[in-house]
Amino acid sequence: HIAVIGSTNIDFVAHVERFAQPGETLHVHASTTGLGGKGANQAIAVARLGQDVALAGWTGTDMLATMARTTLQQAGVDTHCLMEDPAADTGRAFITINHAGENQILVDGGANMAHGAEACPLLSPVLDHATLVMMQMEMRHALVLAMARTARERGIPVMLDPAPVPARGLPAELYPLADIITPNERETRDLTGIEPTDETTALQAAQILHARGTRTAIIKLGHRGVVYSAPDAQGFVSPFRVRAIDTVAAGDCFNAGLASALARGAAIGEAVRFAAACGALATTRPGAAQAAPTMDEVADLLDR
Ligand code: ADP
């Protein structure tokens, strides 16, 4: 199976014509409550693609925890390593999406952020028999590092989504523990100081990430596509043409597609193209986890 170690949130999403100004009250077109958090999103997106997946992390013991676990289980995600912390609230995110499909997000990490490296043994069983592990930065960094080290000791490849980028950058020790790193445009700029506007600049940024110890860098350029740089191959995948209405979780669905394709044994270029199709499809519908495409939908887009 694919192991995901990361956050579980409940997302409160409001659709508005435009973002509110300070002090202003707006009426929303529509609002929804659903599962979110990069860990949960990536796990559900992997499950939608028909791959075995287990999520390790934390919720609280509140109503939102029940909602989160039920949603994950209904999607087919193994939640044996999703712990409950009675002392913390389930993570929450407050998301506003404007007419142009852009988003603004506020996150209360809650239970996701309540545990450090000492919790590593609790989550480690998720790595048993895993072929690949997906991680993000919505947990304490000491725990991310400890889990990446454990995965490395067990010979399990680590795919790191460096999101959100910590104020002081990623811990230097994390780069060599990540086999694959997948920053978007803003994360690439924050990590490397280079604004990735095209293939040339994205590959320059990738070189910096390689120099820090990560073998494969995949730079997600939103509607401009994606650039990859691996030891044996590099290139650009142009974006699939879709009508984007909500870019929330495009990156999560991209990463799920990438993990799923690599776990099936695809070469890097093919895996990135598959992932780009997943990311593109995710922008065509609202929501985070619920926007993830199925294998049939991805196959249709790839054949078009
Ligand atoms: P994040 O959600 O992390 O910001 P991106 O917005 O870069 O990530 O999206 C991830 C990937 O999804 C992109 O690299 C691209 O392959 C695909 N994607 C995102 N937005 C679009 C779009 N408007 N049209 C086509 N593909 C898109």
Interstrand relation of 226-229 and 234-237 (parallel, antiparallel or unpaired): antiparallel
Residue nearest to atom 2 of ligand 1 (CA): 251
Distance CA 179, CA 263 (A): 14
Task: Pull the structure tokens for residue 11.
Answer: 């997302």
Q: What are phi and psi of 205, to 5 degrees?
A: -60, -40
Tell which residue, 198, 200, 246, has the closest CA to residue 225: 198
Helix (H, G, I), strand (E, B) or coil at 229: strand
Query: Is 10 within 8 Å of 40 (Cβ atoms)?
Result: no
Task: Pull the structure tokens for residue 115.
Answer: 């545990």
DSSP assigned state of 78: B
Give the pLDDT score at 287. 75
Question: Residue 149: left if φ>0, alpha if ψ -120 to 50, beta else—which one?
Answer: alpha
Mean pLDDT along residues 58-87? 98
Mean pLDDT along residues 15-26? 94
pTM of the model: 0.94
Distance CA 256, CA 38 (A): 11
Strands in 136-189 per DSSP E: 158-160, 180-181
Query: What is the residue-averaged pLDDT of the chain?
Result: 95
Give the pLDDT score at 199. 95
Question: How sure is the predictor about 43, in pLDDT bands with cuts at 50, 70 and 90?
Answer: very high
Give the pLDDT score at 290. 81
Mean pLDDT along residues 28-57? 96
Which pLDDT tens digit goes with each residue over 152-189?
999 999 999 999 999 899 999 999 999 999 999 999 99
Q: Does ligand 1 come within 6 angstroms of the Cβ of 254?
A: yes
Q: What percent of the chain has pLDDT over 70?
A: 100
Q: Does ligand 1 come within 6 angstroms of the Cβ of 283?
A: yes
For residue 221, is pLDDT > 90?
yes
Domains of the chain: 2-303 (3.40.1190.20)
Give the pLDDT score at 115. 97
Q: Which residues are catalytic?
A: 252
Residue nearest to atom 12 of ligand 1 (CA): 279
Q: Does ligand 1 come within 6 angstroms of the Cβ of 170?
A: no
The reply to whether 41 sits in an annotated binding site is yes
The reply to whether 218 sits in an annotated binding site is no
Which pLDDT tens digit goes with each residue over 108-123?
999 999 999 999 999 9
Residue nearest to atom 6 of ligand 1 (CA): 222
